[in-house]
A = this chain, B = another copy of it.
Amino acid sequence: MARIVMKFGGTSVADLDRIRSVAARVKRQVALGDEVAVVVSAMSGVTNQLVGYCQSLSALHDAREYDTVVSTGEQVTSGLVALALQAIGVEARSWQGWQIPLLTDDAHGKARIRSIEGATLVARMQAGQVPVVAGFQGLGPDHRVTTLGRGGSDTSAVALAAAVRADRCDIYTDVDGVYTTDPRIVSRARKLDRIAYEEMLELASVGAKVLQTRSVELAMKERVRVQVLSSFGDDAPPEEGRLPGTLVVDEDEIVEQEIVAGIAYSRDEAKITVRRVPDRPGVAAAVFGPLADAHVNVDMIVQSTGADGTTDMTFTTGKSDLARAIQVLEAARGVIQYGEMLTDADVAKISVVGVGMRSHTGVANTMFRTLSDRSINIQVISTSEIKVSVLIAAEYTELAVRALHSAYRLDVA
């Protein structure tokens, strides 16, 4: 017997048929003897409609009223899933954030969870009732409904799993797990049985958007074992001792550790180079201070110093920040005193991710050699403990991902 939190996203509860199928899946889990709690999103499309209403009435809408309106999507699903469970003989009861209560701070529209009262829900689960919790919402200190920001239902589920000390938090999505890379690019991409929290965070932040980043951070902090799996997969119960999806866990739980877990890529990159900046102390601050003030997110940074007493600074931002970054730097030209500014939005970032890198050398070198063998020029390099990223021309994205996937022996046999 285990205690499981099952979370179903918008496409998994898109209509009444899908809701019935969610109920059937929950019933199978209950039939295994498990204690189960469910967390649900709004039916797909509903949240967008409600957000549209709010934006239409007031461009700068009051976040408290926005939360009142938008949180109803999850409330509806929670009631409907409870009804669908009861209809097939599973005791169930819906729970809104204010009823649990799931307390948050007062940052309406993007609130953070402060505490969840788990005792009542645990008692219900132990009595054989399935709590169906409306995701994405909580109760603020002002006694009003708060929402956790888009995708917040993943975070609700992980936080709930921590509060009820669940053995696992199963996140049902429209993919059947986390892959070594994008299967649309590499047909021999392999589904990972397990992935470490840190790896999942790096993969998510470079474009493999399976789980909301906040939910992974929370899972890592609270040591909640998260499984990503498909709500559209076959309906047979998983084989004994084997899970159908990808388990996101502490790296200690990954016995046969691969050095590299996966290859990620992002085309949402733009490169900016300011050239011939007088090389003096404080030059980096002069460049990046105004960008930070303008809320431009800067990612990779390299600086190279020439022999003539000037230096070149190259960095990347998201494509949507490029225009603002250019504007900021042009305005600051007098202070920075750069010679010229070059920009390039036709770039991609390729990342090799794996906690095994910590104890293995040569990972970066394999990457550089593999790209060099394909005559792919590396424009920028950045590294962390468990990741090596390079910036290349966007047209080489697929070639680079495929070559690296093979080089690190990630191809499925």
Contacts and interface: CB of A to CB of B under 8 A. Distances in A.
Interface string A175-207: 000000000000000000000000000000000
Interface string A58-97: 1001101110110010011011101110110000011010
A38 to B, nearest CB: 13
B76 A69 contact: yes
Contact of A98 (B72, B79, B98): B98
A50 B16 CA distance: 11
Given A53-B16, A99-B144, A79 B58 contact: no
Given A16-B56, A53-B16, A99-B144, A61 B83 contact: yes
A53 B16 CA distance: 7
Contacts of A57: 16, 19-20, 80, 83-84, 87
A16 B94 CA distance: 30
A280 interface: no
A355 interface: no
Contacts of A56: 16
A57 B80 CA distance: 7
Given A16-B56, A19-B57, A57-B16, A78 B68 contact: yes
B65 A86 contact: yes
A69 B16 CA distance: 13
Contacts of A93: 64-65
A54 interface: yes
A56 B80 CA distance: 10
The 4 closest A-B pairs by CB, nearest first: A69-B79, A68-B79, A72-B72, A58-B87
Interface of A: 16, 19-20, 50, 53-54, 56-58, 61-62, 64-66, 68-69, 72, 75-76, 78-80, 82-84, 86-87, 93-94, 96, 98-99, 143-144
Given A16-B57, A58-B86, A69-B75, 7 more contacts: A19-B57, A57-B84, A61-B83, A65-B82, A65-B94, A66-B79, A72-B72
